[in-house]
Structure 1
Amino acid sequence: MLPCLNKQLFGLDCPGCGLQRSLYFLLHGEFMAAFKMYPAIYPMILLLFFLGSSIFVKFRFAGIIKWSLISLTVGTILVSYFIKMNNLFN
């Protein structure tokens, strides 16, 4: 796996730390371990699936769906990162 440059330089996880390992777990069928490693993996996959399928299929309210999925993904990334950092410093 590729090392995290932020973690190597500053000793702290970045908001993307755990994504590679989560994908590894997901590809090996360990769905709960993937979620525990990086909770935003499922909203991110849903967003990527929607963006990919919207190239070929015209969705009604596509803009609202897209921005809702982006908000859900970013929100999940930030909340899980802040929880991880809070647990690290306590």
Structure 2
Amino acid sequence: MKEHMLPCMNKQLFGIECPGCGTQRAIAFLLDGEFWQAFKMFPAIYSLGLLFIFLGLHFIDKKRNYYKLLIASAILNGVVMLVAYFFKLYFNTITN
């Protein structure tokens, strides 16, 4: 399955991973049932799942207002992505 994944254009062009690098591999790990590996690959995978759940509810259930939950989960996902990205950059510079 991993041989069919799209390459990161940011990494190919600039040599630096983007904040979303690892998403495809994390989804593959989730589908294989390897939840810890998915988290290690892309820590925002679970907050991203939460965001998509609220997004789906927002479109399906028109009786309730999911706008605040959707915004809060989007902010949470952004924060988790950025924190994980800066940790990855920091530890990659230390080890290199």
TMscore range, shorter length = over 0.9
Tell me which residue corresponds to 1:35.
39
In the TM superposition, structure 1's runs of 4+ consecutive aligned residues that sit over 4 Å from their partners are none
Report the CA distance between 1:63 and its aligned residue: 2.1
| 1:1-90 correspondence to structure 2 within 5 Å | 1-57=5-61, 58-60=63-65, 62-90=66-94
Residues paired across the two proteins, number: 89
1:27-80 deviation digits (Å, cap 9, x = unpaired)? 1100110000000000101110111122222335x2221111011000000000
Residue identity (%): 48
Calculate the aligned-residue CA RMSD, in Å: 1.1
Structure 2 segments unaligned to the other structure (5+ residues): none
Q: Taking structure 2 as the reference length, what is the TM-score of the superposition?
A: 0.87
Q: Taking structure 1 as the reference length, what is the TM-score of the superposition?
A: 0.92
